[in-house]
A and B are shown apart, each in its own frame.
Chain A
């Protein structure tokens, strides 16, 4: 009997900070890191990822992710 497959963990950069995450979709990864994507915009390697594509876009090692939220502004 083979041992259950261990989760594949990768290193990514989220909002400028290093994070080791379980490989998966962008939406899953960000929610696991505690992000609320209800009113957020996400960029992957400096390209916008549309909301509808968050669950079908796969995160790869070394990816740079930005998660932005509404903030006050002038």
Chain B
């Protein structure tokens, strides 16, 4: 079923990262297998004489691009990188990454909201990568970020959802925000769980690119994300502390009565 990311209608709720694949050919096949319609990309220094094979592949995929500000540690760096990305990719979408700790690659909450505000004022549709902290996410939403991207766990760790309570809380307290889990997803089960918690989508990179078979894993994630969303929309049963018989008890044979 279709949904809306910012102002764009999409079918897939799977956003795929493009880094770390064994080869460009595997990346291309993983993109196809994933069904993703949004790919994350970055900007790096151009080597004189280098080609554009990567970007040619991205454009041929027909996917939208979501450029990131990976590697930025200050508002100034973020704004410059975002403006350069807008020049190259001709989109006002930007995945805001402003790192505060190089060990955890945890975002810097002291600068993140101001950086988001800078970008919104400059005309960007800002997708901030953040922790699962409710207050920070709320401030980002108030700053004009319609899409919030909380982590499940640190980038590339594959630890899955460390705090499902926090994600559930974000869903409950920010009902109108688009919530995309970004970072830390390790397995399709993690992605399905995130979707069952009410997330609107998942952005996944390492769990696909580092799999033994990235193409197969891309498809597995696509199925899991779709299944998780369908489960959320279908209403998951309430948990009970004791068993509740599923077989009707009316008409039980007499030898079960004593």
A73/B45 in contact, CB under 8 A: no
What separation, in Å, do the CA atoms of A2 and B1 have in the docked complex? 77
Task: From A33, A35, A71, give the contact of B43 (CB < 8 A).
Answer: A71
Measured between C-beta atoms, what is the minimum distance from A5 to chain B in Å? 27
A67/B19 in contact, CB under 8 A: no
What separation, in Å, do the CA atoms of A46 and B27 have in the docked complex? 33
Task: From A16, A50, A72, give the contact of B18 (CB < 8 A).
Answer: A72
What separation, in Å, do the CA atoms of A15 and B88 have in the docked complex? 17
- Which of A20-28, A37-45, A56-64 participates in binding chain B? A37-45
Given contacts A43-B80, A71-B54, A74-B18, contact A51 B87 (CB under 8 A): yes
Measured between C-beta atoms, what is the minimum distance from B108 to chain A in Å? 18
Closest to B45 in A: A15
Given contacts A48-B80, A69-B50, A72-B20, contact A41 B45 (CB under 8 A): no
Chain B at the A interface: SS class: mixed
Given contacts A41-B87, A48-B87, contact A73 B46 (CB under 8 A): no
CB-defined contacts of B70 to chain A, threshold 8 Å: 73-74
A41/B43 in contact, CB under 8 A: yes
B155 at the interface (CB under 8 A from A): yes
Measured between C-beta atoms, what is the minimum distance from B149 to chain A in Å? 12
Closest to A34 in B: B48
Interface residues of B in 57-99 (CB under 8 A from A): 58, 67-68, 70, 76, 80, 83-85, 87-89
B52/A38 in contact, CB under 8 A: yes
Interface residues of B in 15-58 (CB under 8 A from A): 17-21, 27, 40-46, 48-52, 54-55, 58
A41/B88 in contact, CB under 8 A: yes
B178 at the interface (CB under 8 A from A): no
CB-defined contacts of A41 to chain B, threshold 8 Å: 43, 84-85, 87-88
CB-defined contacts of A47 to chain B, threshold 8 Å: 80
What separation, in Å, do the CA atoms of A71 and B69 have in the docked complex? 12
CB-defined contacts of A43 to chain B, threshold 8 Å: 80, 84
Measured between C-beta atoms, what is the minimum distance from A55 to chain B in Å? 15
B205 at the interface (CB under 8 A from A): yes
A74/B55 in contact, CB under 8 A: no
Task: From A38, A42, A46, A73, give the contact of B42 (CB < 8 A).
Answer: A73
CB-defined contacts of A46 to chain B, threshold 8 Å: 76, 80
A74/B68 in contact, CB under 8 A: yes
Measured between C-beta atoms, what is the minimum distance from A69 to chain B in Å? 4
Residue from A36, A40, A41, A47 whose CB has the most chain B CB atoms within 10 Å: A41
Given contacts A15-B45, A41-B43, A41-B85, contact A69 B17 (CB under 8 A): no
Q: Which residues of A contact B (CB under 8 A)?
A: 15-16, 33-36, 38-43, 46-48, 50-51, 66-74
What are 22 A-B contacts with C-beta separation under 8 Å? A33-B48, A34-B49, A36-B46, A36-B50, A41-B43, A41-B85, A41-B87, A48-B84, A48-B87, A50-B87, A68-B45, A69-B55, A70-B42, A70-B52, A71-B43, A72-B41, A72-B42, A73-B67, A73-B68, A74-B17, A74-B70, A74-B203
